[in-house]
A and B are shown apart, each in its own frame.
Chain A
Amino acid sequence: MPASPHIKIRNVGKRYGGVVALTGVSLGIIAGEFHAIVGENGAGKSTLMKIIAGVISDYEGELRLRGEPARFTGTRDAEALGISIIHQELNLVEELSAAANIFLGREKRNAFGLLDDRAMQREAGKLFEQLECHISPAGPVRELRVGDQQLVEIAKALSLQSEILIMDEPTSALTETEVQRLFRVIERLKSSGVTILYISHKLDEVFRMSDRVTVLRDGQLVTTVNTSETSPRDVTHLMVGREIEEVDLGSERSPGDSVLAVENLSLPWAGHARKWRLQDINFQLRRGEVLGIAGLMGAGRTELLECLFGTSAEKPTGQIVLDGESVQFSHPADACRAGIALVTEDRKRLGLFAEMSVRENITLCTLDEVASIGLIGAGAERQSAAESVELLGVKTDGVDAPVMSLSGGNQQKCVIARWLRTQPKVLLLDDPTRGIDVGAKAEIYKVIDQLCRDGMGIIVTSSELPELITLCDRILVLCEGRQTGEFSREDFREQAIMEAATMRE
């Protein structure tokens, strides 16, 4: 029965308290198609997918699978009927091995009914081979970088051999090469008849892979179209409901004097064959300049920023000179006072305070400014938070709204706002737009550009090279902990930078 809807949803809605996440969505998914779901942050994409995958069980409306009404009480029910999901946020047990995570809840057993680790690791190894990645199936997930962890999630979903595979931004932490590998796997799945539902912010991916596109906006379905009959420009327009101007960044910036210099910086790696996480890094950052750090996962981008911020696992050697003074930080508080700010890569785990409000998240680092004799002035604090919300255009239902009621992009703006309030000389941004949609991305780019023009020195890393090319004045390339290239704006060519990033001895 080709072309008959495989999944049919009618009038589906979901609200969280007073917030409507999704309302009146009706949609049919055809068996074997690659169906992309796009929309801005908070448009309801993830909510819709979670309903289909059984993650959310209390919703309004009706879900039909192969013509039969279905109401899942959990992901197990959905998996039993051949639907599995790769979440945007990672859901792995960090202490367990990659193989154990993949087979969690479906462990293989030997003749004695005991765990058959060998078989599971063999299977996991095969899956990783399919994904063309080098992850040790027996090593604990905690030791993997975010990109590799995401690959483990993907392997887990593949191992279920579902008929319907939902992918919620699977590429948000992957490097370009890993994305290519993933797409080859998706092609294979598609040709074997698997239906794929794919959420992405990256329209080039959507247009390269999908058969049909569904656009959501503000919790409502805008349209579903055949991909061949539309263009990225039209889709963007439908997503935001307004024209977004092409961002022209970086022109006529005039960097000032040097604010940060790094000389012969090395970070030891005890008990590892490579011995160094970072080796002999040298660079300068000037006021009013955006310096990009490019590199694959594991190249040492995050580690470099951690060294500058004083939170690296071990003490780095070499010199860090801030404003003409040699510095060595032993605690983030020192770095903070000296004028360095770090917006971390993993927002949920290292950046946000989920129990707190927007206001509390924004003012946390600068409470002393709004306090007298140690007591916080409620009015002054509210004022500061409101100021930041206004400045960065955080979309929120007031400064007292819980921060978790915001979309990912707006949560990220709150974290950036927190650090901007400390008025840093140097701002370190570790993959600041990970998992953030087009509209919010453009806004964050503008913020970065404005800060740079105001004379701040900014270092930004990204897993998306085009992003660095848009944003930066200079790009430093790392490969396996060593500095393998430096490009200034006029020499930015994706090909050349990628070559530097994959340079091996």
Chain B
Amino acid sequence: MPLLNRETRPAGHFLRSFGNEIGLLVAVLVVIGITTYFSDSYRMKPSQNAKEILRQTALLGIFALGAGTVIISGGIDLSSGSVIAFSATICTSIILLLSPLVDNSPDTYDLSLWILLAAFAGTLLAAFLVGSFHAWLITSIGLPPFVATLASLVGLRSLARLLIEDVTRFVYDKQTGSSQIYIGDDFYHQLGSVWWIPVVTFLLLSFFLWLLLSKSVYGRHLYAMGGNEEAARLSGIRTERLKWMAYCIGSVTAAIAGILYSSEISMAEPANNGMGYELSAIAAAVVGGCGLSGGIGSIGGIMLGAVFLRVVIDAVAKIFKQKPDILEGLVVGGLVVLAVAFNELRGTGGLRKQFFPGALGILNVLILTVLAGAITAVTSTTDKLRNGIIAAVVTLLLLGAAAIRERINASRATIPR
């Protein structure tokens, strides 16, 4: 029997359960602290900035929760960006079709409530059908989740674009359709743009999913399936039903986000809505501690992952005075690599392992050098060349030293034959 250090057990247990969440929380506070120090905007208009970050976080968080749930179940849902575009199209189309006609053309200003409710219900139903379709492809046909949802990722957006042409042509009775639908109603516009509405939606949804995943029998079964699907099936768990549930949560949360995004801009434009958002959602889940192999992760983690992602994007934008949407990809990409690498290394105690072995290691010292230089140069506002070169040289020296040290240690470790 292993000897146990009983005195450290309660703290150990707490850290084991919530270590990831605590780490993220600290990281969020540190990033906010640094940004406050460097950016005038945070100091001058704290509440405006806070509201905007919260609203953005909530919008991302809503469908990140869905993406995370699917990841915990052992699958992956790549379709959320397209489901957002598709849902926006469905929602605005229903509104358009139900709006009263004025001079033979629908009037979307001052809509009655039942029209909006019918549109939301229709959109969520459509999303439920999308999720059910995914589940059927995966459980009955046997497609890998990656393929099934990848097909939706490209297919649904196309479908939405075709749909919106026909709907607009029909409603406005014209020869050519339009690639977007505009909704003039003020209340509809407020849903996504008044900061607290997405935030409250996000919190309610989080609470509901936390209850489902962490407290309910279904949730426990979902974690079990994600961790070891075959063992779960042999334990009498109906895995196909759980997958159905998981993929529906994935698409329905994306649909809720889709409604809010379209409300924010008062329109649907499926060619551009939610472009690439699926990766941000997966990134938030992974940064929040969901393991891509399934069975690991928590709602709290996903929430904090979304917060962290948005805070960092905003911080980088503020500090380097760039447009957030240009920087977003770089930040998301970098954070995902760092988060997953961190989890891997922590799990295997691998800080002692060799990071730059062989020719691949040398090449990557150079790649990281060039990356550091290039990123520094493009984010600098003045003296781009000088800053880039400085960053590159510093990186080269640091990583080069590490690579050399590793080689010395490695040659010591094994004795000559």
- Do B3 and A20 touch across chains, with their CB atoms under 8 A apart? yes
Q: In the complex, how many angstroms separate the beta carbon of A327 from the nearest chain B beta carbon?
A: 15
Q: Does B223 contact A (CB under 8 A)?
A: yes
Q: Establish whether residues B413 and A365, one from each chain, have CB atoms under 8 Å apart when the complex forms.
A: no
Q: If the complex has contacts A18-B8, A332-B234, A375-B216, are A70 and B228 also in contact, measured as CB distance less than 8 A?
A: no
A351 within 8 A of B: yes
- Identify which of A20, A72, A332, A353 contacts B228 (C-beta below 8 A): A353
Which A50-106 residues have C-beta < 8 A from chain B?
57-58, 65, 68-73, 77, 80-81
Asked if B324 CB lies within 8 Å of chain A CBs, one says no
Q: Is B174 an interface residue (CB 8 A)?
A: no
Contacts of A351 in B (CB 8 A): 231, 234
Distance of B7 from chain A, by nearest CB (Å): 9
Contact A376 B228 (CB under 8 A): no
Looking at the complex, which one of A18, A23, A353, A368 makes contact with B12 (CB distance below 8 Å)? Answer: A18
A398 to B9, CA, bound (A): 10
CA distance A354 to B231 in the complex (A): 11
Report the bound CA distance from A71 to B411 in whole Å. 10
Mark A194-222 against chain B: 1 for CB-CB distance below 8 A, else 0.
00000000000000000000000011000
Sampled A-B contacts (9; CB under 8 Å): A17-B12, A20-B5, A65-B415, A73-B410, A73-B413, A351-B234, A355-B223, A355-B295, A365-B235
- Bitwise, A390-419 to B at CB < 8 A (1) or not (0) is 000001011010100101000000000010
> Is A273 interfacial (CB-CB < 8 Å)?
no
The contact size tier of chain A is 35 or more
Q: Which residues of A contact B215 (CB under 8 A)?
A: 375-376
- Complex Cα distance, B1 from A21, in Å, reads 9
B372 lies within 8 A of chain A by Cβ: no
Which residue, B223, B231, B237, B352, has most C-beta atoms of chain A within 10 A? Answer: B231
* Closest B residue, CB atoms, query A360: B220
Does A342 belong to the interface (CB within 8 Å)? yes
Q: Which residues of B contact A58 (CB under 8 A)?
A: 349, 352
Contacting pair B352 A367 (CB below 8 A): no
Query: Is B415 a contact of A69 with CB atoms below 8 Å?
Result: yes
A364 near B1: Cβ-Cβ < 8 Å:
no
Q: Name the contact of B2 in the complex, choosing from A21, A349, A350 (C-beta under 8 A).
A: A21
B contact residues, range: 35 or more
**What's the Cα separation between A267 and B16 when bound, in Å?**
46
Give which listed residue, A19, A70, A331, A352, contacts B415 with CB less than 8 A.
A70
B344 on the A face (CB < 8 A): no
Q: Is the CB of B227 within 8 A of A355?
A: yes
Residue among B8, B211, B234, B296 with most chain A CB within 10 A: B234
Within 8 A of B (CB), among A288-328: 309, 311
Q: How far is the CA of A16 from the CA of B16 in the complex (A)?
A: 13
CB proximity to A under 8 Å, residues B68-105: none
Bound Cα distance from A309 to B234, whole angstroms: 9
Q: Residues 219-241 of chain B: 1 if any A CB is under 8 Å from the residue's CB, otherwise 0?
A: 01101100110111111111000
User: In the complex, are the beta carbons of B354 and A80 less than 8 A apart?
Assistant: no
Closest to B240 in A: A331
Inter-chain contacts of A247 with B (CB < 8 A): none
Minimum CB–CB distance for B237 against chain A, Å: 7
Min Cβ gap B312→A in Å is 28
Query: Which residues in B have some Cβ–Cβ distance to A below 8 Å?
Result: 1-5, 8-9, 12-13, 16, 211, 215-218, 220-221, 223-224, 227-228, 230-238, 295-296, 349, 352-354, 410, 412-415, 417
B203 to chain A, nearest CB (A): 19
Known: A18-B4, A18-B9, A374-B216. A418 touches B223 (CB 8 A): no
Compute how far the CA of A398 lies from the CA of B12 in the bound complex, rounded to whole angstroms.
13
Please report the C-alpha to C-alpha distance between residue A81 and residue B414 in the assembled complex, in whole angstroms. Answer: 9
The answer to whether A72 touches B414 (Cβ under 8 A) is yes
Across-interface contacts of B8 in A (CB, < 8 A): 18
Q: How far is the CB of B332 from chain A (nearest CB, A)?
A: 26
Return the contact of B234 from the options A65, A69, A350 (Cβ within 8 A): A350
Q: Is A350 within 8 A of B231, CB to CB? A: yes
A336 touches B236 (CB 8 A): yes
CA distance A114 to B228 in the complex (A): 37
Considering the chains assembled together, what is the distance between the CA atoms of A332 and B221 in angstroms? 14
Q: How far apart sit A331 and B4, CA to CA, in the bound complex (Å)?
A: 41
Contact B414–A367 (Cβ < 8 Å): no
Nearest-CB distance from A484 to chain B (Å)? Answer: 28
Chain A residues, Cβ within 8 Å of B5: 18-20
